[in-house]
């Protein structure tokens, strides 16, 4: 398996150092002057099938940050699809910009043309900052798009399915930590109350969990708090709240050297991608702290399962049934990690990598 190490400052600025570090097959830089499009498509691995993963539109502080994000996200998709038993490779795209101000139909369609140039090696869908309407625009230029509106034969917003899988993973983690998967009365902090976080909160409210929520969108926080009774906490305060479960549902790398010593939870289970800033260092640190960590790419796989159902013309019922399996898979990962004396992220990655390696051998005989 390829180890991902911390890069030196010099390596961080070298595009090829980063691509080789994460072992990507292909990275495509897309630029269009007229629409202001600046996008990067990362194709990590296509052994199991076409690289499928959403496009994220975000106000990255630098181009280097955007590149790092697309590389980490696309690698995560490889393992997510592999561990979920899907015949898909890992890919992802980022568009640099403010989704609320900079996005236009022309920009989306231009991006669709870049996706089309890859001839199906990469299939796009939604991620943060993108909507089903954006997928519809992209779909005017390419057939290699999923997550289209249901009115256009698509599987619609994947977030409810992602939330269901995250909820299943959280319950499995609760069972591991406390011997019982009930979340009733558990204090749970949810960082990010967007598409997935919002649906997850609905499940947690139904179970009578005690919620602490934060978001940069103050209006949404007020609305959710008024509807659910959740306590609103500050953006940074979220790491200090005395809770049983911390659920990262916004950006990645929130489990890092600065936050670890502040966390008081016994379980971490959320939908955000790439929650561990450094998989091995912070994954191992969580074991030392006695925190049960439900691997992000495993428990947030509901969205890709839903998108896969669209590509393979299966229905949402199939997607929900597959997603429910996340509960058992998560329990199995906890057991494997303990038996192997390793952390859960590594145990999950090893299972995913083994499937890729096994299938690569089969393909050699075609």
Closest CA relative to residue 45, chosen from 15, 67, 68, 22: 22
Label residues 248-267 b or e (16+ Cβ within 10 Å = b): bbbebbbbeeebbeebebbb
Q: Shortest approach of ligand NAD to residue 75 CB, angstroms? A: 13
Give the interface segment with ligand NAD, choosing from 1-9, 21-29, 271-279, 281-289 (CB under 6 A). Answer: 271-279
Closest CA relative to residue 356, chosen from 80, 74, 125, 93: 80
Give the interface segment with ligand NAD, choosing from 170-178, 190-198, 287-295, 329-337 (CB under 6 A). Answer: 190-198
Q: Which is nearer to ligand NAD, 236 or 358 (CB)?
A: 236
Q: Shortest approach of ligand NAD to residue 5 CB, angstroms? A: 23
Is residue 300 part of the contact set for ligand NAD (CB under 6 A)? yes
Q: Shortest approach of ligand NAD to residue 47 CB, angstroms? A: 21
Label residues 122-145 b or e (16+ Cβ within 10 Å = b): bbbbbbbbbbbebbbbbbebbebb
Q: Which is nearer to ligand NAD, 214 or 266 (CB)?
A: 214
Is residue 197 part of the contact set for ligand NAD (CB under 6 A)? yes
SS3 58: strand
Is residue 234 part of the contact set for ligand NAD (CB under 6 A)? no
CA distance 164 to 294: 14
122-141 residues near ligand NAD, rule: CB under 6 A: 127-128
Q: Which of 38, 80, 92, 171 is catalytic?
A: 92
Residue of the chain from 272, 311, 326, 333 that contacts ligand NAD (CB under 6 A):
272
Residue of the chain from 112, 169, 192, 283 that contacts ligand NAD (CB under 6 A):
192
| Residue in the structure block whose two tokens are 């292909």 | 26
Q: Shortest approach of ligand NAD to residue 85 CB, angstroms? A: 17
Is 194 within any annotated ligand binding site? yes
CA distance 186 to 184: 6
| DSSP 3-state percent helix, strand, coil across the chain (nearest 5) | 50, 15, 35
Is residue 271 part of the contact set for ligand NAD (CB under 6 A)? yes
Is 124 within any annotated ligand binding site? no
SS3 57: strand
Is 42 within any annotated ligand binding site? no
List residues bridging with 58 in a β-sheet.
Answer: 96
Q: Which is nearer to ligand NAD, 118 or 233 (CB)?
A: 233
The answer to whether 160 and 300 have CB atoms below 8 angstroms apart is no
Residue of the chain from 49, 85, 149, 194 that contacts ligand NAD (CB under 6 A):
194
Is residue 204 part of the contact set for ligand NAD (CB under 6 A)? no
List residues bridging with 94 in a β-sheet.
Answer: 40, 56
Residue of the chain from 132, 142, 191, 259 that contacts ligand NAD (CB under 6 A):
191
List residues bridging with 341 in a β-sheet.
Answer: none
CA distance 38 to 31: 5
Q: Has 175 been annotated as catalytic? A: no
Interface pattern 9-48 for ligand NAD (x via CB under 6 A): ----------------------------------------
SS3 125: strand
Angle among Cα 112, 42, 117 to the nearest 5 degrees reads: 35
Annotated binding site: 192-197
Q: What residues line the site for ligand NAD (CB under 6 A)?
A: 127-128, 158-159, 162, 191-197, 214-217, 235, 249-251, 271-273, 300, 303
**Residues recognised as catalytic:** 92
């Amino acid at each position: 398996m390829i180890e991902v190490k911390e890069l030196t400052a010099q390596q961080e600025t070298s595009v090829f150092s980063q691509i080789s570090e994460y072992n990507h097959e292909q990275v495509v830089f897309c630029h269009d002057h007229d629409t202001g499009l600046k996008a990067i498509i990362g194709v990590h691995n296509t052994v199991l099938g076409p690289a499928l993963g959403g496009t994220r539109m975000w106000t990255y502080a630098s181009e280097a940050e955007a590149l790092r994000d697309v590389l980490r996200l696309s690698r995560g998709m490889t393992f997510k699809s592999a561990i979920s038993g899907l015949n898909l490779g890992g890919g992802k795209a980022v568009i640099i910009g403010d989704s609320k101000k900079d996005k236009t139909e022309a920009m989306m369609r231009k991006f669709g043309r870049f996706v089309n140039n890859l001839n199906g090696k990469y299939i796009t869908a939604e991620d943060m900052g993108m909507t089903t309407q954006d997928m519809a625009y992209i779909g005017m230029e390419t057939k290699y798009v999923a997550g289209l509106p249901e009115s256009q034969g698509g599987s619609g917003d994947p977030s409810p399915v992602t939330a269901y899988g995250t909820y299943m993973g959280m319950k499995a983690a609760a069972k591991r930590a406390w011997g019982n998967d009930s979340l009733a009365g558990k204090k749970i902090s949810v960082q990010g109350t967007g598409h997935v976080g919002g649906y997850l909160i609905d499940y947690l409210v139904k179970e009578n969990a005690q919620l602490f929520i934060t978001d940069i969108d103050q209006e949404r926080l007020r609305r959710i708090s008024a509807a659910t009774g959740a306590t609103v906490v500050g953006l940074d305060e979220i790491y200090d709240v005395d809770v049983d479960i911390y659920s990262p549902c916004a950006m990645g790398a929130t489990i890092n050297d600065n936050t670890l010593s502040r966390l008081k939870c016994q379980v971490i289970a959320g939908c955000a991608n790439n929650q561990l800033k450094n998989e091995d260092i912070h994954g191992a640190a969580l074991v030392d702290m006695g925190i049960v960590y439900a691997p992000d790419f495993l428990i947030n796989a509901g969205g890709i399962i839903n998108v896969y159902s669209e590509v393979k013309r299966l229905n949402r019922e199939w997607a929900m049934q597959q997603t429910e399996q996340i509960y058992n898979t998560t329990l199995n990962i906890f057991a494997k990690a303990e038996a192997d004396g390793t952390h859960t992220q590594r145990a999950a990655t090893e299972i995913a990598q083994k499937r890729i390696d096994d299938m690569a051998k089969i393909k050699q005989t075609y």
